[in-house]
Amino acid sequence: MKLAISAPSKTFLLGEYAALVGCPALVLNTEPRFELQIEQTHHFNVQGIETQSPAGRFIKDNQAIFKSYRLNFIDPHQKQGGFGASSAQFLMVYCFYQTLQQFGKNLAEGVKPLLQLTNSQLPEFRSTLLATYLNYAWNGIGIAPSGADIMGQLYGHITWFDKSNNEAKILEWPFPNLQLLLLRTGVKIATHEHLKQLTNISYEPFSTILAEAYQSLSLANEVNFLQAINNYANILATYQFVATTTQELLANLNQLPYVSAAKGCGALGADVILCLVKQQNLINFQHWLNQQNIHYFTANTSPGLQIS
């Protein structure tokens, strides 16, 4: 029997660094999707997952559970980074593990109950998932990952995750006049290595902006939402949480009349830059990106964990 589990690419819409110190985060989940192909077999085999990654070490510790399966991870970004490959791996492997543990070994029927947990069951599942992820993703040095990315990929679309209250909500994109674009910089920073170097992060500057962003999304207030994105980008720059290459590209982007808001995403904003562009400016902006040889994605939201 064969099975495929998929999870979306993730980008921090808002909340990188803030989520590390207890603030909520807004996680944007988009195409293309990561996939874990599973096949029942007599020859245990894992492809596409590094042995020292969180998912790789989890598989090794639970090899007795996985020994009858071949696992093949498909990365649509071809290891270029920036969109949550590592967290997607762990999420899909962990959910398959829970399927085998809790619902028996009928793969197709087993994953479905896991994806249909009731509201009363979800908080405990989120807590267990996060605790297990942190056990494999953090060695105790520096600041622990927030787990917001893995929650985003579990729920999909735009996920509001508040770790301090163990709360997750799915939001839809409410601005038909605004297009999200994700620009790949070509610069790759290992998030887990970056977190080892962090010490104290102030909670207060981020908290207010995140509350304003959530409210503006809920009320479909375009002006306030754009302001929240730009304000957050300014705070990241103030705290020197922006790589030099990203600073330079953001400076160019902010001079363009096409761009309504822009910020770096993730560790030092190095891998990916988020741009919000009004629909009437989209073609001109895409033309400029092509002239600059900047690889970009038009970001359309995608559901959370799925099976096929």
The tens digit of pLDDT for each residue in 194-210 reads 666 666 666 678 889 99
In degrees rounded to 5, what are phi and psi of residue 271? -80, -40
User: CA Rg, the chain, in Å?
Assistant: 19
- Each residue of 247-283: pLDDT tens digit? 999 999 999 999 999 999 988 888 899 999 999 999 9
Distance of CA 56 to the CA centre of its chain: 19
> Rounded to whole angstroms, how far apart are CA atoms 138 and 135?
6
- pLDDT at residue 190, rounded to an integer: 66
- Calculate helix-pair angle for 122-137, 148-155, nearest 10 degrees: 130
**Residue 11 phi, psi (nearest 5):** -140, 140
**Short-list 175, 170, 149, 159, CA closest to 276:** 175
Helix runs in 82-219, H state only: 85-102, 107-115, 122-137, 148-155, 191-196, 204-218
Q: Which of 77, 88, 70 is nearest to 6 (CA)?
A: 88
d(Cα 102, Cα 188) in Å, to the nearest integer?
38
In whole angstroms, what is the distance from residue 112 CA to residue 251 CA?
47
Contact between 36 and 153 (Cβ < 8 Å): no
Give CA separation, 12 vs 18, 74, 121, 156, in Å: 11, 22, 26, 12
Instruction: List, in order of start, the domains of the chain with CATH numbers.
Output: 2-172+303-307 (3.30.230.10), 178-298 (3.30.70.890)
Q: What is the pLDDT of residue 141?
A: 81
pLDDT tens per residue, range 15-71? 998 998 889 999 999 999 999 999 988 889 999 999 999 999 999 999 998 998 999
**Rounded percentage of the chain residues whose pLDDT exceeds 70:** 89
Tell the burial category of 141 from Cβ atoms under 10 Å away from its Cβ (0-12, 13-18, 19+).
Answer: exposed
Q: What is the DSSP string of 102-132?
A: HS-S-HHHHHHHHHT--TTTHHHHHHHHHHH
Burial class (CB in 10 A: 0-12, 13-18, 19+), 174: middle
Contacts of 197 (CB under 8 A, 6+ apart): 142
